[in-house]
Amino acid sequence: MILTSLFALNRRFISSPRFKWQKSDLASFKIALSDVTQRLEDIWSSAPAEAILMAEVLLDETAALAESQRFTSMANFREAIRERRLGEV
């Protein structure tokens, strides 16, 4: 969902569902999250519980980015992520 959202915000076509060119695509995006490439790599190399928390933070930031760029409200989605994250701590 994070990558798909970033492609959509940048009005880019997803050429491969496997995201083979993920690093180069992310580097070319004008609208992106800070250090998103490294943060995604960190998720894949982390323990499952830690990776889930990191992914939830990225989901929340992606929703905030979508709100800021497209004037849409994702407040309910973001609140659900925060509640889940707080419940896990």
| Interatomic CA distance for residues 36 and 26, integer angstroms | 8
C-beta separation of 52 from 29 below 8 A: no
Name the residue ranges covered by the structural domains of the chain. 2-11+20-88
User: 46 or 84, which is more confident?
Assistant: 46
Q: Which phi and psi (to 5°) does residue 33 adopt?
A: -85, 155
C-beta separation of 29 from 89 below 8 A: no
Cα–Cα distances (Å) from 31 to 14, 67, 80, 82, in that order, read 15, 12, 24, 23
Q: Quick check: 55 pLDDT over 60?
A: yes
25-49 average pLDDT score:
91
- Reading the block at residue 83, the tokens are 């509640």
